[in-house]
Amino acid sequence: MKLNEETEVIVDRLAIRKNIMTVSTLAKNISGRPEDLEIKFAIKFQNATETRILPLPITDNSFDEHGNCIAYAVMEYELDALFENMDLNEFKVLVQAYDGKTYVNITVENQDFNKVKEENEYACLLEDGQIVIRRKKPVKLYKRNWFISLLCSIYRILEFVIGTLLIPLFLLDGVYVVILGKHRRFLEETYGGSQLKRTLLFAKWRWSAFCRLTINMATVKRMILNITASFLTLFCKKDCILFASVRRNDLTGNIAYVNEVLQKKGAKVLFWLEPGKTKFMPFSKVFSLAYKIARSRVVAVDDFTPVFNDIWAMRHCKQIQLWHACGAFKTFGFSRIGKEGGPNQTNRNHRSYDYAIVSSAEICRFYAEGFGIDEKNVKALGVPRTDDFFREDYKVEIRKKLYEQYPVLKGKKVILFAPTFRGNGVNTANYPFQRFDLKQVLSAIDDEYMVIIKHHPFVTEKHPVAEEIKDRVLDLSKESEINDLLFITDVLITDYSSVIFEASLLDIPMLFYAFDLEEYTVNRDFYYPFKNFVPGKIVRNIKQIQEAIRDSDYEQQKVETFKHRFFDALDGKSSERVADFMLELLK
């Protein structure tokens, strides 16, 4: 199939073995220029009621004997983990390719998938150029039955009681294995400590295996939370909206903006703002959260909030994800399947959201992919915290506040250096400071410019600043909101940070210092081909940064198109739209 004049794509292979489906595609570009083959693939799975999008990552780029650029993509998909409703009796497999503007379905040509060997219970068919998967023997969808659920609960309780009564036997078994058994050296290396400690740990392992329970503080608190919330749900009136966050302990971000509107409309609002893991949560907070869940019809979160995973009472709530970032830039969540640090396909994280709120209709498919939810459940209502970007009084107030706080900035042109981190997360986050030598950057830039450094919060080390340029540099990585700093920014230098979306609302000129673009693309990747996506000039070294600033060459004409692409409504009323949506769900 022709994707454009120079690029042809085909579905190269599809095969099913047990519950694993392997799909591979091939793209050929006749231009002979690798940069022209910035192509992306994805797979859309559709059953009667649900849609799931998953990435099909490029695994190899090469040239054929005629000098054509070849991109090869292959991925294995676990069919049993595709749909929340577990309806796998019949579904379509739509192989899609990005044509530079949108994802289009690839028509499957010259492939007879009817001859693909049918293994296990699945059959693979080709109908009207599209792939259809059917079970040979349809399976009835599981529906929750209160009587069966009660029997299962009784059985698990009996299992727990019997396992607890058998603890003395497990202890005797531990004494034998730890002191007399042939694996005692292995246990000593694994657990360490005294023989008594190893005996107790072995007995605990036997008890956990028998009862199919892992006992630790997090498990205990989760069990208490579950039971308490389920019990209180029987008696509490569900007439509240609950805002929950593990990112912050104060009322800021999207939550604050939506709450302000809800309060004006007279809604009943509850809060649970507790950074940290469940195991560190005091028992008083566990009971408090249980009560708040029992009272709530709508639960809104602003990041991945694992405490809500597998809470039975949440079935009576509508959970909304008010994701903290704008637009769609770096891949996240299930879009990172197959990459280092990415999730397993069977992971349940994020998939419990009833709705996710985003800034534009264009990016709904990417958030659906990242969260593993249906595309129709992603709503383009806007990002509430961007409302201030349309308030002139707020802009004036913030500028005045910052100039009073940092008087050295008055009368200066401000370069905001705000890169993202390198690494897989908070524990490995870093930035190669030597790649942005401030002394070298400022050496060829007029004295009217000052640099504000704003590293990602995950980067804990300070950016080194030479003594002779300290009067031209402010490191505000640990201070000030980055959004506030944008109101006094004349030039933004970043790399792969999502701050570019907020910057576009203020028409700020941008430079993209992408010295490690190829490496970053392999490790993290983007939803769009980077070179055709960013609203500014791409620079690869310090000299290019200096030249761009000296010549005011930022390719700023790209900003306006970018802004309208990733924000459907530029009216400062996102908070009101989200609040109204929540109130409708509350009814």
The reply to whether 235-386 and 392-566 are identical in fold is: yes
Write phi, then psi, for 51 (nearest 5 degrees): -125, 140
What phi, psi does 454 have (nearest 5°)?
-140, 85
Angle between helices 195-211 and 146-165 (to 10 degrees): 160
d(CA 451, CA 438): 8
The pLDDT score that the predictor gives to residue 481 is 82
What tens-digit pLDDT sequence spans the chain (587 residues)? 777 777 888 888 888 887 888 888 988 877 766 655 678 899 999 999 999 999 998 888 777 777 778 888 999 999 888 988 888 889 999 999 887 778 889 887 755 554 545 456 777 888 777 888 888 777 776 566 667 767 887 888 898 899 899 999 998 888 887 777 666 666 666 666 677 887 888 888 888 888 887 777 778 888 888 889 989 998 999 999 999 988 778 888 899 999 999 999 999 999 999 887 777 788 888 899 999 999 999 999 998 888 888 788 888 899 999 998 888 988 999 998 888 778 888 888 898 899 999 999 999 999 999 999 999 999 999 999 999 999 999 999 999 999 999 999 999 999 999 999 998 777 888 999 999 999 999 998 988 999 999 999 889 899 999 999 999 999 999 887 889 999 999 999 999 999 999 999 999 999 999 999 988 988 888 998 888 889 999 999 999 999 999 999 999 999 999 999 999 999 999 999 999 999 999 98
Tell me the two tokens of residue 58. Answer: 């490029």
Give the pLDDT score at 53: 94
Q: Does domain 392-566 have CATH number 3.90.1070.10?
A: no
Strand partners, 487: none
State the Cα–Cα distance between residues 56 and 298, nearest whole angstrom: 34
Q: Order of strands, edge to edge, in the sheet holding 58-63?
A: 7-17, 20-29, 69-78, 58-63
The residue extents of the domains of the chain are: 7-135, 146-211, 235-386, 392-566
- The pLDDT value given to residue 216: 76
Please provide the DSSP assignment of 313-379 as one string. GGGGSEEEE--SS-S--B--GGGGTTSTTPPPTT--TTTT-SEEEES-GGGHHHHHHHHT--GGGEE
The confidence score (pLDDT) of residue 419 equals: 95
Between the CA of residue 277 and those of 303, 323, 346, what are the distances in Å? Answer: 14, 19, 22
pLDDT at position 32 is: 66
Task: Please give the model's pTM, rounded to 2 decimal places.
Answer: 0.85
Question: Any idea which architecture 7-135 has in CATH?
Answer: Sandwich (2.60)
**What was the pLDDT predicted at 184?**
65
Tell me, what's the pLDDT at 318?
A: 95
Q: What is the pLDDT at residue 183?
A: 64
Of 235, 228, 239, 350, nearest to 289 by C-alpha is: 228
Fold of 235-386: Rossmann fold (3.40.50)
φ, ψ dihedrals at 339, nearest 5°: -105, 160
Task: Please measure the distance between the N-terminal and C-terminal CA atoms of the chain and give it in whole angstroms.
Answer: 48
Q: Tens of pLDDT along 392-430? A: 999 999 999 999 999 999 999 999 999 999 987 778 889
